[in-house]
């Protein structure tokens, strides 16, 4: 494991959208251009790096996350870069493309009954955590997700916006 992955990812570009010539542009940050295809790449990198620094991860740790897709793809990619085993716990019926991407990055996928939704996946992830050296990022309850954006995404936005002044973020 070597926590350098985060520093190899360039900031996502931003583009101006002009809806009306009488109004300033709306700047759109193209987060789909992150390596894993979504803004979830940011939380995956941040959470793994922080857990490593705090000693909650080691090369034998398995990362397990409950997700319906994008977060698991991001963690599968980050874990592949960091040399960590990853298990996505997902409800049956998620798109096959998501499953294929996770597996392409070396992640494993375990399914829970569709009718239980993501809650069932969360319960299964918690059960798996009781079986050994497991790190649960807990995307739905982890305040570090917002911190990843405060320290990373927000800095990029400020650096990329002409004048460095942001009026509104959506």
**Tell me: the pLDDT tens digits for 52-75?**
999 999 999 999 999 998 999 999
Query: What distance in Å separates the CA atoms of residue 169 and residue 36, rounded to the nearest whole number?
Result: 23
Lowest mean pLDDT among 22-26, 64-68, 103-107: 22-26
Q: Identify the sign of the CA torsion 132, 137, 142, 148.
A: positive
Please tell me the predicted confidence (pLDDT) of residue 170: 77
Query: What distance in Å separates the CA atoms of residue 115 and residue 126, rounded to the nearest whole number?
Result: 18
Evaluate if residue 9 carries a pLDDT over 80: no
Please tell me the predicted confidence (pLDDT) of residue 1: 46
Evaluate if residue 131 carries a pLDDT over 80: yes
Catalytic residue status for 50 = no
User: Treating both helix axes as pointing N-terminal to C-terminal, what angle do 70-82 and 96-104 enclose, rounded to 10 degrees?
Assistant: 10
**Residue 3 neighbours by CB under 8 Å, 6+ apart:** 48, 49, 52, 53, 82
- Order the strands of the 134-135 sheet from edge to edge: 108-112, 85-91, 62-66, 134-135
Evaluate if residue 6 carries a pLDDT over 80: no
In whole numbers, what is the pLDDT of the chain averaged over residues? 91
Given 29, 40, 50, 114, the catalytic residue? 40
Evaluate if residue 143 carries a pLDDT over 80: yes
Alpha helices in the chain (DSSP H): 40-53, 70-82, 96-104, 117-129, 144-148, 154-160
Please tell me the predicted confidence (pLDDT) of residue 7: 52
Q: Please name every residue paired with 15 in a beta bridge, in sequence order, or none if there are none.
A: 28
**Letter string b/e over residues 103-138, b meaning 16 or more CB atoms within 10 A of that residue's CB:** eebebebebbeeeeebebbbebbeebeeeeebbbbb
Please tell me the predicted confidence (pLDDT) of residue 77: 96
Average pLDDT over every residue of 41-51 = 94
Tens-place pLDDT, residues 86-99: 999 999 999 999 99
Average pLDDT over every residue of 23-38 = 91
């Amino acid at each position: 494991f070597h926590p350098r992955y985060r520093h190899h990812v360039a900031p996502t570009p931003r583009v101006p959208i002009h809806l009306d010539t009488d109004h300033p542009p709306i700047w759109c940050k193209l987060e789909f251009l992150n390596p894993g295809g979504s803004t979830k790449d940011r939380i995956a990198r941040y959470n793994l790096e922080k857990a490593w620094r705090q000693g909650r991860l080691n090369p034998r740790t398995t990362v397990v996350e409950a997700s319906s897709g994008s977060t698991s793809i991001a963690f599968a990619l980050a874990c592949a870069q960091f040399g960590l085993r990853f298990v996505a716990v997902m409800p049956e019926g998620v798109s096959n493309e998501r499953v294929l991407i996770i597996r392409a990055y070396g992640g494993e996928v375990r399914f829970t009954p569709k009718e239980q939704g993501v809650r069932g996946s969360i319960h299964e992830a918690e059960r798996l955590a009781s079986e050994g050296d497991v790190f649960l990022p807990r995307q739905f309850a982890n305040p570090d997700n917002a911190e990843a954006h405060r320290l990373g995404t927000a800095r990029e936005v400020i650096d990329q916006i002409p004048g460095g002044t942001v009026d509104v973020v959506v």
